[in-house]
A and B are shown apart, each in its own frame.
Chain A
């Protein structure tokens, strides 16, 4: 037994309202840059639907994940090592940008620059790949909420498996949302496909990362990942993927997608697993037994033998304790209501899902029957073959029994808790009918319905002695982007080249960025026309000239000479002389940073001048100009 720790996630699909907050915040945090416009580390798909990229689940076409070869041995579905290398010059099974979508922006400038004319000027969509006009015909959520109707739904690969029974009459259909991130698999096929060995699994917490310095852009990982969650940054020529927000997780914070989830449907925690058994479990010949095989790889952190082995493997004691409290382990192994997405890809995905009961409840409610009664719900689960089979296609390789089991437990919990909430006697036969005892059912209810922040996210922080090892382990270069803080624009050999040594690590970048935002209190400085910025191309992170007021750095480097700005008066004036107790004084770098003032720099302040207080304005003291930034 070789015990390893794995960060895992569970999402409760019943709670997902499809608001895309997770996607948006993730994008803001990680992929808001040129080259990754089309990239969504986190996306929310409406199911049934084609998903993103389109039809990614059709592995007969995209050949992602693993398969068993004739001798029953595990092999990459796209082919063995030699074939993988021989097809390196044009990866044959890679989605093109059409399967994702061509990113675009709008020519908003036309609204203000257009000459006087009879008709209202319009903004045209412009491709972010070519800069040319384009016709927008697809995007990441084009089929959101079943948009596009039966026409687009036909191409859902999961639906195709059960389609002979599906009428897909629009008013009889069902839908739910499926948020997806990288699965951080135990047996990652992206890593196995990478010719350069740049994708690796962190042995500390199992997070799968791309070493940006080692990636050579062979793009085999895109083919290898059956979930299509490794993306090709078309500007830097490197693969990028969900990082499980490792800088946050290392200090005990949940990922951005979890933190901002409105429905609070995500759970994060550790699981311990037996690394020696992963290959054997992934090689299970019967696809429908893969779910059980995957569960069996996970270890019970309460088992003294496991604890002993964990200690031998160097897993800290508090990590084992965190694994015992892990909501993820409880949902997967104790209550057995969480299921992995597409276990048949044999990658042992580590983002698990609690399948939604809502379609069933809705149907029962529509019939006028009591939708909270266990019997009614049980009968409906048996009766509603289509949703159940569809869910089985997603979570259990087509075997409906585990899905039915989960839905029955959820239904039982509903009716059991209704009795308690209404002050009636709790009916112990309900938990029994689904193989649980009442205490266990109540605990499950607590975890699903009431769990607070620190119960949903049980994340042991990395240890001080590990901190060195973990810090900036891999993806710092993901910040090397056009105009980014580490870059100063495009390098001599193309986007993102050069400057590797000049980069700020993530922590430093965040610190400066935050400080800058906190100490900035005026709108942008439109002093010169040249400094005007096209906000469309602003990636949200860089600080192009003129977008922000000069940063009141202690070295005064960013301060401008207001006298030379003929239009300085346009800027919102602030009272000269400063207000030591005012917001400007409170928020900016005050006394402690004073020694950094460079004498002779235009606009540098005299440290001894008490009238200036905390005001960072230039020292000429003239009326409006003095306070203008």
Chain B
């Protein structure tokens, strides 16, 4: 039996947040290509950053992959390829813990650096602060769930692959199971809810740089030559209502 509150929390809120996530990115990219950057602070300070930043970023990449595994892949699939639940659990816990510890330590160092190094702190926007807070809460709760829930088994064993994961996949398949989240331990509930908040904030923070991961660099030619195509003026497309007209005797004319 699901209450209205459960539906609001685990159906309405996720859809709203994910819609904001998607539309927000579209909007931000169109409105603010110039602001779409990592806003690196390495110029100000590099001694701490050299260790903390790779630690955090590689850690969070593995955490992300772990979430893809845990949330995206049903139990039946891993069983089908012959992976026992125990083996899966062992892999998830071992790799997840290492990645999680890297992430948490890296993040702690980065936040400490951001607060204590003068130039870095003065280059921190209000939005950055909000983002750091939410991101830290999400990561801390996730770490707590891993340690307390899965390693120490505080409050009894909870198999998220039968609960949270099914609920999460259901969101994308329109197969809604708010009751699964309502039954989940409070730690998982809070982690999920704060993650949704983070998704909603995402497009309005510097986190957008995740989506410009320059993977194409591996294949593109070293030196880029650019000549303007005949149909575009400047690097941006013409605004509606300002399309150029011409007599058709020049390359730029339509």
Count of B interface residues, CB-CB < 8 Å: 60
| Chain A positions within 8 Å of B173 at CB level | none
Contact status B118-A200, CB under 8 Å:
no
Contact string against B for A residues 79-106, beta-carbon threshold 8 Å, 1 for contact and 0 otherwise = 0011011011111101011000000000
Instruction: Give the CA-CA distance A26 to B105 in the complex, in Å.
Output: 44
Contact status A471-B234, CB under 8 Å:
yes
Instruction: Give the CA-CA distance A187 to B224 in the complex, in Å.
Output: 10
Contact string against A for B residues 219-244, beta-carbon threshold 8 Å, 1 for contact and 0 otherwise = 01011111110100111100100001
Could you say which of A13-21, A420-428, A447-455, A473-481 contacts chain B? A473-481
| Chain A positions within 8 Å of B244 at CB level | 468
Contact string against A for B residues 69-93, beta-carbon threshold 8 Å, 1 for contact and 0 otherwise = 0000000000000000000000000
Separation in Å of the A69 CB from the closest CB of chain B?
A: 14
Instruction: Give the CA-CA distance A312 to B53 in the complex, in Å.
Output: 50
* A275 to chain B: closest residue by CB: B225
Contact status B225-A203, CB under 8 Å:
yes
Secondary structure class of chain A's binding surface, majority of residues: loop
Q: Is B251 an interface residue (CB 8 A)?
A: yes
Contact status A89-B226, CB under 8 Å:
no
| Chain B positions within 8 Å of A494 at CB level | 35, 39, 125, 127-128, 206
Q: Is B94 an interface residue (CB 8 A)?
A: no
Q: Is A238 an interface residue (CB 8 A)?
A: yes
Instruction: Give the CA-CA distance A481 to B141 in the complex, in Å.
Output: 39
Instruction: Give the CA-CA distance A492 to B32 in the complex, in Å.
Output: 10
Instruction: Give the CA-CA distance A390 to B220 in the complex, in Å.
Output: 39
Q: Known contacts A81-B217, A200-B226: does B32 contact A129 (CB below 8 Å)?
A: no
Count of A interface residues, CB-CB < 8 Å: 71
Contact residues, A422-437 vs B (CB, 8 A): none
Instruction: Give the CA-CA distance A89 to B106 in the complex, in Å.
Output: 12
Contact status B37-A215, CB under 8 Å:
yes
* A96 to chain B: closest residue by CB: B46
Q: Known contacts A97-B43, A200-B226, A237-B40: does B233 contact A468 (CB below 8 Å)?
A: yes
Could you say which of B156-164, B180-188, B208-216 contacts chain A? B208-216
Q: Known contacts A81-B218, A473-B234, A500-B31: does B227 contact A493 (CB below 8 Å)?
A: no
Contact status B34-A500, CB under 8 Å:
yes
| Chain A positions within 8 Å of B35 at CB level | 491, 493-494, 496-498, 500
Contact status B206-A493, CB under 8 Å:
yes
| Chain B positions within 8 Å of A238 at CB level | 34, 37
| Chain B positions within 8 Å of A200 at CB level | 224-226
| Chain B positions within 8 Å of A465 at CB level | 250-252
Q: Is A32 an interface residue (CB 8 A)?
A: no
Secondary structure class of chain B's binding surface, majority of residues: loop
| Chain A positions within 8 Å of B239 at CB level | 501
Instruction: Give the CA-CA distance A366 to B212 in the complex, in Å.
Output: 62
Q: Known contacts A85-B217, A200-B225, A497-B35: does B40 contact A219 (CB below 8 Å)?
A: yes
**Pick the contact of B123 from A234, A469, A473 — CB < 8 Å?**
A234
Instruction: Give the CA-CA distance A471 to B42 in the complex, in Å.
Output: 33
Q: Known contacts A90-B49, A96-B45, A199-B224: does B34 contact A492 (CB below 8 Å)?
A: no
| Chain B positions within 8 Å of A362 at CB level | none
Instruction: Give the CA-CA distance A127 to B117 in the complex, in Å.
Output: 13
Contact status B214-A216, CB under 8 Å:
yes
Contact residues, A204-226 vs B (CB, 8 A): 204, 211-219
Instruction: Give the CA-CA distance A469 to B233 in the complex, in Å.
Output: 6
Could you say which of A190-198, A394-402, A510-518, A536-544 contacts chain B? A190-198
| Chain A positions within 8 Å of B209 at CB level | 216-217
Contact status B122-A188, CB under 8 Å:
no
Contact status A471-B233, CB under 8 Å:
yes
Separation in Å of the A134 CB from the closest CB of chain B?
A: 10
Q: Is A172 an interface residue (CB 8 A)?
A: no
| Chain B positions within 8 Å of A498 at CB level | 31-32, 34-35
Q: Is A132 an interface residue (CB 8 A)?
A: yes
Q: Is B204 an interface residue (CB 8 A)?
A: yes
Question: In this complex, which of A132, A235, A236, A501 has the most chain B Cβ atoms within 10 angstroms of its Cβ?
Answer: A501
| Chain B positions within 8 Å of A236 at CB level | 34, 37
* A222 to chain B: closest residue by CB: B43
Contact status B234-A505, CB under 8 Å:
yes
| Chain A positions within 8 Å of B25 at CB level | none
Q: Is A574 an interface residue (CB 8 A)?
A: no
**Pick the contact of B235 from A81, A213, A232, A499 — CB < 8 Å?**
A213
Contact status B40-A476, CB under 8 Å:
no
Q: Is A597 an interface residue (CB 8 A)?
A: no
Q: Is B38 an interface residue (CB 8 A)?
A: yes
Contact string against A for B residues 39-67, beta-carbon threshold 8 Å, 1 for contact and 0 otherwise = 11111111001110110111000000000
Separation in Å of the B165 CB from the closest CB of chain A?
A: 29
| Chain B positions within 8 Å of A89 at CB level | 53-54, 56-58
Contact status A211-B235, CB under 8 Å:
yes
**Pick the contact of B226 from A81, A201, A212, A234 — CB < 8 Å?**
A201
Contact status B250-A94, CB under 8 Å:
no
Q: Is B170 an interface residue (CB 8 A)?
A: no
Contact string against A for B residues 9-51, beta-carbon threshold 8 Å, 1 for contact and 0 otherwise = 0000000000000000000100111111111111111100111
Instruction: Give the CA-CA distance A165 to B91 in the complex, in Å.
Output: 63
Contact status A201-B224, CB under 8 Å:
yes
Contact status B225-A129, CB under 8 Å:
no
| Chain A positions within 8 Å of B38 at CB level | 216-218, 237
Contact status A217-B39, CB under 8 Å:
yes
Contact status B217-A216, CB under 8 Å:
no
* A480 to chain B: closest residue by CB: B34
Q: Known contacts A493-B204, A500-B34: does B119 contact A91 (CB below 8 Å)?
A: no
| Chain B positions within 8 Å of A596 at CB level | none
Contact status B40-A217, CB under 8 Å:
yes
**Pick the contact of A85 from B41, B49, B56, B214 — CB < 8 Å?**
B214
Separation in Å of the B199 CB from the closest CB of chain A?
A: 17
Contact status A212-B128, CB under 8 Å:
no
Separation in Å of the A499 CB from the closest CB of chain B?
A: 8
**Contacts A/B (CB < 8 Å), 26 sampled:** A81-B218, A85-B215, A90-B50, A91-B42, A92-B50, A97-B43, A97-B44, A129-B123, A191-B224, A194-B224, A200-B224, A211-B226, A213-B236, A216-B38, A216-B214, A217-B39, A219-B42, A232-B43, A476-B234, A477-B34, A490-B125, A494-B35, A494-B206, A497-B34, A498-B34, A505-B234
4 interchain residue pairs of minimum CB distance? A497-B35, A195-B214, A469-B228, A468-B252
